[in-house]
Each structure stands twice: as C-alpha cells, then as structure tokens.
Amino acid sequence: MLDIKFLRENPDVVKQNIKNKFQDSKLPLVDEVIKLDSEYRAYKGEADSLRGGRNKLSKEIGMLMAQGKREEAEAVKKQVTDNARRLAELEQLEVEYQEKIKKIMMVIPNIIDPSVPIGKDDSENVEIQKYGEPVVPDFDIPYHAEIMENLSGLDLESARKVAGNGFYYLMGDIARLHSAIISYARDFMIDRGFTYCIPPFMIRSEVVTGVMSFAEMDAMMYKIEGEDLYLIGTSEHSMIGKYIDTIVPEESLPHTLTSYSPCFRKEKGAHGIEERGVYRIHQFEKQEMIVVCKPEESPVWFDKLWQNTVDLFRTLDIPVRTLECCSGDLADLKVKSIDVEAWSPRQKKYFEVGSCSNLGDAQARRLRIRVNGKDGKYFAHTLNNTVVAPPRMLIAFLENNMNADGSINIPVALQPYMGGKTKITK
C-alpha cells in the first residue's frame, strides 16, 4: 500500500506506474482517492478545531456564570451543544472517509523498481543468467507422474477418491526423498545464518490482506467456514504476519528466518498438460525464507535470497536459470521479483521452481511493522523467497537424476538424509 502523502504529491508517477503494469482500469482511482483525501482533511481540520475549542468554551461559560451573565452563558452552552452535535457528525465522516480511502489504496499497485522490464505478462519476463549445463539424455524421460508410479511412489487415484483432483499420496522412497529435500533445504538455510521457524498454518483475515492483494487472496486462499481463519498459501504469510503491530529495534535488523510449512492453494483456473500429476496442486510443502530489514538494505538482501536458491539447486546438480519478472507479471505489492527455473530434460525447457520478491514497505505499511531508528520510526522492508517447494521440485530432481533403467541417482548432499542410499530403484 502506498503512502497517501506520496500519492497526493506524485499523482502522475502513480498513474504511470499503473500504466506500466497494464492496469489502466485503475487510473480513475488516483483522482478519486485524491478527492476523498482532500475532503477527509477538510472534515478532520474542522473536527480538530471543534475539539480544540471545547475547553475554551467551557472556561467561558464558567466565567460568565461567575459574573452573573446567565443569558450569555446559556448562549455559549447552546453553542457547545451544537458543536458537540457537529463534532459527532464529523467524527463519523472521518471514519467513513478513512475506510473509503484505505479500500482504494489497497488496490492501487506499489511503485515498481526502475530496473523492472516493462511487459504485459510472464511471456515477456527476461532471462538473466543460466547456471549449470542443461543435458538431454539419449533415452526418453517419462512424464513425472509415470516416473513416480514406476517407483511405487505416487498414488493419484486413491487421493482423488479421498480428496478430489489436485491431491496425491507420496509413497516409499519418493515420500522419503520429498522429506529429505525439505530437511536438506532447512539445514542449508540454517548454515547460511537463517533462524529456523515452524509457523501457524492458519492466519486471520487482517494478516491475509496485509501480505497480499485482493486478487491474489481470491485466487489462492481457502477460508475456514464460520471462523476468521484462512489456510496459508505459503509460510511467508504467517512469517511476515508474525511482526504485525510491532516496533522493531533498528539495531536488531535484519531478521532472517527460514520456515517450513504445508501450503494450500485453490489454483483457480489451473489447466493444461503440465498441470497434471503433482506440478499444480492444492496441497504441497515448502521451505521458505523471509527477511525484515532497513529500506536501504533490501536490494542487497534481494540478491542474496535468490542466490541462495540457485546455490541449493546447484549442490544437487540441477541446472537452473533466473528470470526478471516484467511489470505486468508482478503482483500489486511487489517492487521487484526474480523467478528461479529448473531445467526439465523431458520438456527440453526450464520451468518455475521458486520466486524471490522485494515488497518494499507495502506489507509493513499494511501490517504496521515499524522500525525504531535513531532518527525516529519508519516502516521496515520485507522480502521473501522459495528455498524449495516439493513435490514440484521433485520433478526437476527426478528428471535430472534419472538413469536409462528408470533408477534415480541420489546426489552426495542428500545421501545422509536418505539413510545412505545412493539410488532409488524399482
């Protein structure tokens, strides 16, 4: 959410940013909120004046009564009554206008970083760099669901009976591999100085609207019927929510946390051949990283975060590349975002396995996360990034470590988490 003062003083900048994100339908909102803000400040100014004059009028009544000027005192009393009635009206208007302004400000997108390429959607994202040499073996690699089923590691049919489409049973060594990757990612991030955390898997609506846009919320979140609770779509939601209504000592920054959680997503509109199996699903598990830091440090942390994911995948010999997300592919709260994509030998292309985002002070402003600095209080910056998100990450792992006989090699880094196994066999 933008600072209303910034919008008031820079309406053209805000409008150009909306155009850069190809959200022209939101352009009228800028003028609308400026008009509402002007009216709000006028009402507030009148209300402050009335509040400030109450004591003065009360003293005046006392003085007039002491002087025996009862008629004049009654006239002032009537003025006090009229002022009180008007003040009640103004205070009601203040609340109404604050809510109207907040509602509009919540849908005006954050100002993107100048380095973000301008483009309409993810088809215009820009490749930055490749890491590792993509390999296509001289044998056919089956679809990932078939690989898992051949290793007795996936049961989609039973899951459909129990929960419907978009769910799965992982079995045997594939289930163990899934847990091994999560455990390895946890320790990898701890070794990089991050504090490990297991957060709540449900959050209140105030936290939901604090960490994401309304459009994301509608497309992603499952609500618990009859309660003000939502299942998290990623642990970033509850990890950033941990700081709601807090004043963080500046000297304690940055806060660097890595968290494990299951994740639940509606995946509205998900379709297509690559969304069968366990690529696009309603339930998965994830190791995440978040940072709460000073504004001037967030660009440095942004580069550190996506590099962590690249480094982890390379320790498992999986080729990856980084993509700069264009303006039209950025969610409204994001300042800048980089996707990490892993190589798929079967598809002969890369696919997304993680996303790193700098949200500036947008989440902090919504959730009232402030820093107590030597020169006063200010809003923190928040960032997040995927470490790994199996079972999607399993697709990249299985395809890049598959042998011609269908067995799967276990890289050295993962072998301690797999009981010393060097291969998964049929």
| CATH number for the domain harbouring residue 81 | 1.10.287.40
Q: What is the pLDDT of residue 336?
A: 98
Res 51: pLDDT: 81
Let me know whether 67 and 171 are in one domain. Answer: no
Question: Tokens 């004059």, residue?
Answer: 53
Q: Is residue 113 part of a domain?
A: no
Verify that 133 and 97 share a domain, yes or no.
Answer: no
- What CATH number is associated with residue 172? 3.30.930.10
Q: What is the pLDDT of residue 269?
A: 56
Domain assignment present for residue 354? The answer is yes
pLDDT of amino acid 172: 97
Domain span at residue 335 reads 122-424
Q: Which pTM does this prediction carry?
A: 0.90
Per-residue pLDDT at 241: 97
Phi, psi for residue 303 in degrees, rounded to 5:
-70, -35
Q: Structural domain tally of the chain?
A: 2
- Beta-sheet pairing, 369-373 with 195-197: unpaired
Q: Which residues pair with 169 in a beta bridge?
A: 155
Shared-domain flag, residues 374 and 256? yes
Q: Are residues 309 and 351 in the same domain?
A: yes
Would 392 be classed as within a structural domain?
yes
What is the pLDDT, as a whole number, of residue 274?
Answer: 45
Distance CA 423, CA 291 (A): 36
Q: Split the chain (426 residues) into runs of 10 and give each run's mean pLDDT.
A: 94 98 97 97 90 72 74 76 86 94 95 97 97 96 95 95 93 97 98 98 95 84 95 95 98 98 82 64 95 98 98 96 97 96 96 96 97 96 96 94 96 97 95
Domain boundary among 79, 105, 131: 105
Whether 16 and 73 share a structural domain: yes
